[in-house]
Structure 1
């Protein structure tokens, strides 16, 4: 890895802090899913993706389509830490005139490659972008992040079939498999069974790893890049609300929270960062 494991874990904790800062300005937000995908965001922007924060439209960049667009706070936190825009803008989430709306919007936010929000549509856009890149013989990778509840959408599987048919080897997807959706466990609402196997059955190269183990995520991406004739899906086993003390509740999809809960969560993350920094 280019960065040490300590540096990557600190970056993930900082992403969680930045996402919580943004949501605190609105006194609530999609805390659970933003926390569960933060380690992936650290891996992508801290280690894997070819990007240039000073030139967000750089033609040689890798693209990221966050199909679970309601988890914009984790994306905004990452982009701010990377220098796409000032960190103070995190305090404007959902406010009038903001560049940081509730869901990811490519027309407003520097560094957002595709507007998303209606679940299932982002992955279709990612497939189309990857197909366009392949047609133009461009080397760019296209990454996309889905929620596990989002995989209830039939459009996801139409996109999966098309991507496999077109052999989109530069498309790498992730399912944030935190096992919960808006109002319960995914298995109780619409049981999709073994997601890794399902994507494999749809013609994808599929893997399953611990979504909070950054080296494992990076290794899975490198393995995916070895497969030239198939799209790849990496199912990430995650915990909804990971490392956020007040999100340790059953219904933690969208959480309203007072200032004291926010301060407690930041204190806990600061302690984690301090411990990481003290390690050899």
Structure 2
């Protein structure tokens, strides 16, 4: 374990971290009565592994130069990242109740100017990986051994700017870059596999020169292995981990609902969803 990784991560299970991220997201969603909760519940396991296994950072010093960078290209996933950052001690828990409110540091779409520890402003999809390529190149030129992790959506696989960044990362041999794709097969206008993605993405990335892995994004053991493999590779290639996640994971009555890009949750269902999580608190 790197010495600047939060020490609390060693004695709290990743299962418990993922549970807390889901619960934080539900609490924030209830504050506004809305939010991209389907994505937040689905990607909670991935964020548990990034923030409590893979990343090196100092909770009390978000600008520490030696930190690994985590770039959220998908701005509307901010509710998920805030949930992880609160659990990690990067944000105070009491700010959870301000989510999406005027003057809050937790706007509904992630913005670096508002939120300590939010590395980039996402939202115009397809831009995050290009920013990550520039950051990874800059770190290498400065001799900084930190990694850059870029989380993007499966919908961004249809953006031309994404593939320009893919090619650039190979050209510059950015072995300090890990792209994390949340593949939940949903984008704003329908299933991603009915647009420009096939659902089996690794061969495409490999053809461009990346080291590619596809994993069950709700299997913590598989995720840990994939992130460890990505970090330890000896060859100078950028790395991608395509995480197949299930929207609304952990709340069965939402999982069983007709899945769309934006899940509607009725006012009385927030407490019902929390009660389901609270009935089985992991250790």
TM-score (norm 2): 0.92
- In the alignment, what sits opposite 2:278? 270
2:239 aligns with one of 232, 246, 256: 232
Q: Per-residue deviation at 1:193?
A: 5.1
* Residues 58-86 of structure 1 deviation map (CA, whole Å, 9 limit, x = unaligned): 11100000111211011001111112222
- In the alignment, what sits opposite 2:75? 69
RMSD: 1.7
- In the alignment, what sits opposite 1:242? 249
| 1-structure distance, mates of 2:129, 2:140 | 16
Q: 1:221 to 1:50 in 2, by over 3 A?
A: same
> Which piece of structure 1 moves more, 132-141 or 224-233?
224-233
> Which piece of structure 1 moves more, 27-36 or 219-228?
219-228
Unaligned stretches of 5+ residues in structure 2: 2-8
| 2-structure distance, mates of 1:193, 1:221 | 20
* Residues 108-134 of structure 1 deviation map (CA, whole Å, 9 limit, x = unaligned): 111111111111111111111111111
Runs of 4+ in 1 over 4 A off after TM superposition: none
TM-score (norm 1): 0.93
1:259 aligns with one of 264, 267, 275: 267
* Residues 143-178 of structure 1 deviation map (CA, whole Å, 9 limit, x = unaligned): 011111121111111110000111100101111111
- In the alignment, what sits opposite 1:88? 94
| 2-structure distance, mates of 1:81, 1:141 | 21
| 1-structure distance, mates of 2:264, 2:200 | 32
Q: Per-residue deviation at 1:138?
A: 0.8
1:12 aligns with one of 9, 18, 43: 18
DSSP 3-state at the match of 2:213 = strand
- Check if 1:116 corresponds to 2:122: yes
- Check if 1:25 corresponds to 2:31: yes
DSSP 3-state at the match of 1:65 = strand
Matches within 5 A, 1:99-178: 99-178=105-184
Q: Per-residue deviation at 1:246?
A: 4.7
Unaligned stretches of 5+ residues in structure 1: none
DSSP 3-state at the match of 1:272 = coil
* Residues 3-57 of structure 1 deviation map (CA, whole Å, 9 limit, x = unaligned): 47x7111110110110111121110111121112110110111111111110000
Q: 1:150 to 1:197 in 2, by over 3 A?
A: same
DSSP 3-state at the match of 1:243 = coil
